[in-house]
Structure 1
């Protein structure tokens, strides 16, 4: 059975070092959630410009997710180095 694109992507993410992995996961998860929230709010506010609300809320959410992932990755790295 061959790997699908999603399975290959998951394997690539698993092979990343801990900090970049958590940055990528945090940015992706919060970016998707922020984009969905932006879409709903945009459709409720003014449907013709809903796509802009997706970016307006999704991009800052992705940045926040990346920063949280960076902090979590740094904490994991420090914890691993302090406990041999």
Structure 2
């Protein structure tokens, strides 16, 4: 499991089977204690390599501008804290 934010990140899981879902492929894996977990192939080491940076500094700056505008709009209407 390579998806860094998943609770099972870094663990090796046994793949029970794979199937198509929503135009992609998922693995159904043994999660222990008789349970299973379904994972997109992209979240595993069998999928494409993950990008190091999900958002560029420029994208984060643009996002900050949007968030600030939303907060200002709420404050102008008396909805902000």
Q: TM (normalized to structure 2)?
A: 0.29
Larger RCO, structure (CA 8 Å, separation 6 or more): 1
Q: Which has the higher strand share?
A: 2
Structure of larger gyration radius: 2
Could you say which structure has the higher helix fraction? 1
